[in-house]
């Protein structure tokens, strides 16, 4: 979408163009919802009789759909610079003018050395294995590699040998700066560089907001937010010295989409992490360091997010909620949101999206990619929010911060 440059004082025009951008994002989601509705209808209407290939339902679709199409079914992406009004100096060939939101590019220009945090399970482990399969050298970080996660380390070693890929593990406790520094130093010593840093480590809690203690809120902030700062402070000096790199953040659709109750501490922490990611993008672009933010929606299967969710420390407060007007509310919330997650929602789509982003050429990576089977509206919310933020930088003459500088 091309928008005319905005005059600093033309607020009415600015509001109109934000509305246009919102309409475009909404139309994308509406079409996705219509396709999903048609697929569900076909699956229900023809469940008990043969169907032609053009009417294949969800249960059979995998047999006639290639992996790349299936992987992109719930994906919506945009580059932040796509949200800016193009100037006369920009051409149609400029990577910030157009974007393909319907498919993933799988071109990999060269093998990269990648460090991913929180890789013992869930999105992290799936991503580590997928990136290694794509030909990259992957350091899957986790804590307690000689204890609780020793079986995971053994499984990854076996996987690496069996598949002939370069998947390694490294001890990193993201809540300890000493551990982070030692882990990053070992990766640099072993591989010589870190091309891509993936912030994936995180933890979820579930329960009434009031029943969590301030210390629990602080702990969630530490795990989900401060951890990224510790790792950045260890990795970024190396990237800045080399003049290139990619920071990839695993955010959450909760920061701009429809959200269920009883997840307040987690949602607050993920929103903070997303805000920090946006600011880092500005402050690293002139160093030649690129930023992409992956925004998963709700996946009730395929990860341990919900199974390992923490609970309120103040059990008395929690019991008061469960004995009052919110009796059984936790189960109600979980069931309600599980019911709107499509049966074929695949958490592996997040890993495949990350592989695609890493494989894209420098400067052409999307600023955000949404992998959201429930279509909770985050793609709409972030499209508008990122558009407004980008326009402000354009107004104050800092639009160069919206894409990374290509260093020699």
Domain ranges of the chain: 11-61, 67-402
Catalytic residue among 217, 262, 266, 326: 266
What is the chain's mean pLDDT, rounded? 81
Residue whose entry in the numeric block shows the structure tokens 């795990």: 223
Least confident of 4-8, 29-33, 298-302, 310-314: 4-8
Say if residue 9's pLDDT is above 70.
no
Nearest to 282 by CA among 405, 200, 369: 405
For 391, how many CA atoms within 13 A lie in the half-sphere containing its CB? 23
Q: Any idea what the Cα angle at residue 10 is, between residues 6 and 15, rounded to 5°?
A: 80
- 266 classed as catalytic: yes
Say if residue 267's pLDDT is above 70.
yes
pLDDT tens-digit map of 197-207: 999 999 999 99
Query: What is the H or E stretch that residue 271 is in?
Result: helix 264-284
Alpha-carbon gap, residue 104 to 147, rounded angstroms: 38
pLDDT tens-digit map of 72-100: 445 555 555 444 443 333 333 333 322 33
DSSP 205: B
Cβ 281 vs Cβ 367: under 8 Å: yes
Count how many residues are written for the chain: 408
Cβ 263 vs Cβ 204: under 8 Å: yes
Read off the pLDDT band of 37 (50, 70, 90): low
The confidence score (pLDDT) of residue 344 equals 79
Neighbours of 145 (CB within 10 A): 20
Say if residue 7's pLDDT is above 50.
no
The confidence score (pLDDT) of residue 40 equals 53
What is the average pLDDT across 118-126? Answer: 94
Read off the pLDDT band of 29 (50, 70, 90): low
**306 or 297: which leads in pLDDT:** 297
The confidence score (pLDDT) of residue 374 equals 83
Cβ 366 vs Cβ 248: under 8 Å: no
Residues 6+ apart with CB under 8 A from 32: 74, 76, 375
Domain 67-402 has CATH 3.40.50.720: yes
Q: What is the radius of gyration, based on Cα positions, of the chain?
A: 22
The confidence score (pLDDT) of residue 339 equals 85
The confidence score (pLDDT) of residue 102 equals 32
Least confident of 56-70, 191-205, 281-295: 56-70
Q: Is the dihedral of CA 393, 396, 400, 404 positive or negative?
A: negative
Neighbours of 282 (CB within 10 A): 16
Q: b/e per residue, 352-374, with b = 16+ CB within 10 A?
A: bbbbbbbbbebbebbbbbbbbbb
| pTM assigned to the model | 0.77
Q: What is the DSSP string of 118-187?
A: S-SSHHHHHHHHHHHHTT-EEEEEES-TTTTTHHHHHHHHHHHHHHT-EEEEEE--TT-HHHHHHHHHHH
Neighbours of 234 (CB within 10 A): 23
**341 or 216: which leads in pLDDT:** 216
The confidence score (pLDDT) of residue 46 equals 43
Q: Is the dihedral of CA 377, 379, 384, 386 positive or negative?
A: positive
Nearest to 87 by CA among 408, 370, 395: 395
Instruction: Extract the tokens encoding 289.
Output: 């360091």
Say if residue 44's pLDDT is above 60.
no
Neighbours of 104 (CB within 10 A): 21
Instruction: Extract the tokens encoding 38.
Output: 């048609």
Instruction: Name 198's bridge partners.
Output: 116, 248
Largest CA distance in the chain: 64
**345 or 9: which leads in pLDDT:** 345
The confidence score (pLDDT) of residue 6 equals 41
């Amino acid at each position: 979408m091309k928008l005319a440059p905005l005059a600093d004082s033309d607020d009415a025009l600015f509001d109109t163009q934000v509305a246009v951008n919102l309409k475009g994002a909404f139309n994308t989601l509406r079409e996705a919802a219509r396709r999903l509705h048609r697929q569900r209808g076909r699956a229900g209407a023809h469940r008990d009789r043969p169907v032609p290939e053009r009417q294949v339902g969800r249960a059979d679709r995998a047999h006639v759909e290639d992996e790349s199409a299936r992987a992109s079914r719930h994906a919506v992406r945009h580059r932040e610079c796509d949200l800016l009004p193009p100037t006369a100096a920009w051409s149609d060939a400029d990577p910030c003018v157009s974007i393909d939101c319907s498919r993933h590019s799988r071109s990999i220009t060269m093998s990269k050395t990648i460090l991913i945090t929180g890789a013992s399970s869930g999105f992290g482990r799936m991503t580590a294995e997928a990136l290694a399969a794509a030909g990259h050298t992957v350091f899957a970080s986790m804590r307690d590699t000689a204890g609780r996660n020793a079986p995971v380390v053994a499984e990854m070693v076996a996987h690496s040998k069996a598949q002939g890929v370069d998947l390694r593990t490294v001890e990193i406790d993201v809540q300890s700066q000493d551990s982070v520094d030692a882990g990053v130093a070992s990766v640099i010593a072993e591989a010589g560089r870190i091309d891509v840093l993936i912030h994936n480590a995180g933890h979820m809690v579930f329960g009434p907001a009031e029943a969590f203690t301030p210390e629990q809120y602080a702990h969630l902030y530490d795990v989900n937010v401060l951890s990224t700062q510790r790792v950045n402070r260890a990795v970024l000096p190396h990237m800045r010295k080399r003049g290139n790199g990619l920071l990839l953040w695993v955010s959450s659709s909760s920061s701009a989409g429809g959200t269920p109750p009883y997840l307040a501490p987690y949602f607050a922490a993920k929103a903070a992490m997303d805000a920090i990611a946006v600011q880092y993008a500005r402050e690293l672009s002139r160093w030649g360091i690129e930023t992409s933010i992956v925004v998963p929606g709700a996946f009730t299967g395929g990860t341990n997010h919900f199974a390992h969710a923490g609970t309120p420390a103040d059990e008395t407060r929690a019991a008061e909620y469960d004995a009052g007007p919110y009796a059984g509310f936790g189960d109600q919330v979980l069931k309600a949101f599980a019911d709107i997650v499509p049966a074929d929602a695949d958490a592996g789509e997040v890993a495949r999206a990350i592989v695609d982003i890493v494989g894209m050429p420098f400067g052409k990576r999307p600023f955000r990619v949404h992998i959201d089977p429930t279509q909770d509206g985050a793609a709409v919310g972030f499209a508008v929010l990122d558009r407004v933020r980008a326009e402000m930088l354009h107004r104050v003459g800092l639009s160069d911060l919206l894409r990374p500088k290509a260093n020699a």
